[in-house]
Amino acid sequence: MDTEQDSCERLVAQAVNKSPLIRLLISALDKSGCPFSYDRHISCEPCKKGLAGGYDRKLNQLVICQNYCKDVATVEKTLVHELVHMYDYCSSTIDFSNIYHLACTEVRAANLADCKNPLSSFLDGNFRLIKGHEDCVKDRANRSVRIIYGVNTAVASEAVNKVFERCYSDLEPVGRRCFDKQQQYAAFHNYSKKQNL
């Protein structure tokens, strides 16, 4: 009988095989001295409501929430988001107990994984219309900081706004914002060429 975990693991394998962005981030982890193994570093688990995934820095493992991630597109987006956190933790000195460090990696993950349309408009958690890529990134990062730190909107916004300009312009290791698959393949090609892969 197929379990939720089996289904999640199959979706992870499909996402890894189809996503040039996931392959780029895994290669960048390896190049940064943090070898990546799918069996060791990805775990499909049930999670509390509202979570799609997470990065467990103590175990150095990505968690994919099997009760939420039910299709390959959601798994792919979640993996890219969490791989950005893993890359940041590997390649930089990140202290997750520092709200500004957390805000920066959340800005980077939202920028590279979550907000896929430069002209996107969407409703935020309070059903306000958000317009544009930068607003999308700020809203996603604010939401993550609020949830992880358990702080109010004002505190989360202050942290995100303080680091936003620097962290929003940091596109490493991808090198660009990828709004579609073609741009993801171009980013992977450029990264591979630069790394002589």
The set of catalytic residues is: 82
Which residue, chain included where needed, has tokens 């930089």?
Answer: 92
Strand, helix or coil for residue 64: strand
Peptide bond into 118 cis (omega under 30): no
Counting Cβ atoms within 10 Å, is residue 50 exposed (0-12), middle (13-18) or buried (19+)? exposed
The amino acid at residue 85 is: H
Residue whose tokens read 């700020």: 138
Token couple for 171: 């596109």
Alpha-helical (H) ranges within the chain are 4-18, 20-31, 38-41, 72-91, 99-109, 133-149, 153-168, 181-195
Sequence letter at residue 33: G
- CB burial of residue 128 (10 Å; 0-12, 13-18, 19+): exposed
